[in-house]
Structure 1
Amino acid sequence: MPTASGSGRPEIELPKSFEVDLNDGREELRAGYAAVIEANLDSEAMTYYRCVLFYCVDEGKVTGTPEGTDSRLHYRMRLGRTEQGVWKTPTGETERNAC
C-alpha cells in the first residue's frame, strides 16, 4: 500500500477496526469494476459483495435536456440477487452535475 512519505500527502492513522472496514469497501468497489470490465455479474467477488455500481451518462443528445441544464447524470445503483437468482437494483440514486 502506498505511503504518504515523499508524496506530500498527510499521514493518517486510523484504528485497526476501521481499516478493516475500509479494506472491505475497497474490495467491494474492485468487485464492481471487475464485474463491469468482465461483463460478469455472476463472478465470485460480485456475489460475495453486494456491489454498488457508479456510472455517468450524458443524456443531452438522447432526451433533449433543456438549455442551461447539465445533461450529465451520475447514477449509483445497488445490485442484489433475489432468492431466484435474478439480479435486481433494489435502490438507485441519480444526481445531476455530479460526474
Structure 2
Amino acid sequence: MTMTGAALTTAAAVLLTACGGTGDGSSPEHERAAESSAAPPRIERPVIKLPSSFQLTFEAWNDADPQRQAVLNDAKEELRAGYAAIIANDPDSKAVAFYDTGSGRVQSKKWIKSYTDKNRRVVGELPVFDPKVTLLDDGTTASLAYCTDESKARTEHRLTGKVEGNSPDMDPEVSYVVTLRKSSAGVWQNSSVRSQRGKCAE
C-alpha cells in the first residue's frame, strides 16, 4: 500500500412493536416478547481511538441507501483501525482483524508493518473523500472506491521525533478500490485493496 490505507459504528437495534391483536387470543405483551426475541443480535464492534495528533476525516461519507451506508460505516472503521494500529505500534491489532478477511488481512498487516518496522507513526491530517459503493452478488459483496489527500499527512519517528512528508514532486492524491465481503455476523470486511497514486482528479 501507499502511505495511506484503513467512527465508532454500532448496529442499530431493530425496534419491533405490536400493532393490535392477532385475533387468535394472544396478548399484545406476548406478541412483543415473541417479536423481540426474533430481533437480530447487536454486533459488538471494537472501540477505536485515534490521538489528536492525527486527524482522519471522512468527507461526504454517507449514502441514502442503508445497505451502502453499512458498507461505508465498516470501511471507515477498518481505515481508522489500521491507522490506530500504526500509531500504537500494533501490527497484530485485533480491531484490524475484526474488519479484515482473507488476503485483506495479509495486505493490512504488511502495510502496518511498513511503518512499525521502521519505528514510525502517522501524524497530521488525512481527508478521505469521494466514496462510491457498488453492491454485488445479491448484497454479499461490495466494491468501494474512494480517494485520499496526503498533502498534510506526515510520518514521525518514535525515537528521534523526526517528521517527514512526501516529496514535493509526488502527487498527494491516491485512489483506492476496496472489495468487501459481508460476514455471517453482518460485518463488511475488507478482502482486498488496490491503490494508485494521482488518479483522484476527474
TM-score by length of 1: 0.52
Number of positions where the alignment pairs a residue of Structure 1 with one of Structure 2: 63
Which structure's relative contact order is higher, taking Cα pairs within 8 Å and 6+ residues apart? 2
Report the equivalent of 1:54.
145
Q: Distance in 1 between matches of 2:187 and 2:142?
A: 14
Q: CA deviation at 1:85?
A: 2.0
Q: Distance in 2 between matches of 1:89 and 1:36?
A: 18
Report the equivalent of 1:91.
192
How do 1:1-99 and structure 2 match up within 5 A?
A: 36-38=62-64, 40-41=69-70, 46=135, 48-49=138-139, 50-63=141-154, 64-99=165-200
After TM superposition, what 4+ stretches of structure 1 lie above 6 angstroms from structure 2? none
Give 2:70's aligned amino acid: L
* Structure 2 residue ranges without an equivalent (≥5): 1-60, 72-133, 155-164
Whichever structure has more helix as a proportion of its residues is 1
Identity %: 24
Give 1:41's aligned amino acid: A
